[in-house]
């Protein structure tokens, strides 16, 4: 059986003293350090979650800005292309208009020169007709002589070219 003696009582007293000392000097500080570490880890996890949420929000914001910038860039490109097409069409229309004006001016110039040539030709024909009539009237001629004069007149017309135009 168990002998209760002074050694057993001293051992029990030592054991209780050791438990009290360990509790005061070791257990409480260790528990305190563990709680502080647990809180620190919890705070770090919370901070990491907050940082991750902020990073996700920032990423979303940048993606939205990038999408907006792409839309703006596409809009600018579309407007520039539309403006270039409009300017091209305007240039083509202006060129066509200018060509039409030049064509009309050239036709008017041709008509003017043709009218001048006809007037000059009429004047020369009248002068030559008068000259021929003078020759015919100044001579009393018979039919053979009349035919010779007409042939000479026609040959002279072929040689001289009335109004720089062949007869």
Is the pLDDT higher at 38 or at 141? 38
pLDDT of 160 reads 60
DSSP structural state of residue 27: I
Mean pLDDT for all residues in the chain:
86
User: 44: which 2 tokens?
Assistant: 């770090």
Residue 41: in which H helix or E strand, if any?
A: helix 28-138
CA 27 to CA 35: how far, in whole Å? Answer: 12
Q: Is the pLDDT of residue 161 over 90?
A: no
> What confidence tier does 63 reach under pLDDT thresholds 50, 70, 90?
very high
Exposure on the CB side of residue 125, measured as CA atoms within 13 A: 9
Q: CA 25, 40, 19 angle in degrees (round to 5)?
A: 15
Q: Is the pLDDT of residue 81 over 50?
A: yes
pLDDT of 61 reads 95
CA 99 to CA 91: how far, in whole Å? Answer: 12
């Amino acid at each position: 059986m168990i002998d209760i003696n002074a050694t057993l009582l001293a051992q029990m007293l030592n054991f209780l003293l050791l438990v009290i000392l360990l509790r005061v000097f070791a257990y409480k500080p260790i528990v305190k350090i563990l709680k502080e570490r647990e809180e620190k880890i919890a705070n770090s996890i919370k901070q990491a979650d907050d940082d991750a949420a902020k990073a996700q929000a920032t990423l979303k914001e940048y993606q939205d800005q990038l999408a907006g910038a792409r839309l703006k860039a596409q809009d600018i490109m579309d407007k520039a292309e539309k403006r270039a097409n409009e300017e091209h069409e305007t240039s083509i229309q202006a060129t066509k208009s200018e060509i039409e004006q030049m064509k009309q001016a050239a036709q008017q110039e041709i008509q003017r020169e043709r009218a001048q040539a006809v007037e000059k030709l009429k004047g020369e024909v009248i002068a030559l007709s008068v000259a021929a009539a003078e020759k015919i009237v100044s001579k009393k001629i018979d039919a053979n002589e009349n035919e010779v004069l007409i042939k000479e007149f026609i040959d002279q017309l072929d040689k001289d070219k009335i109004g720089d135009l062949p007869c």
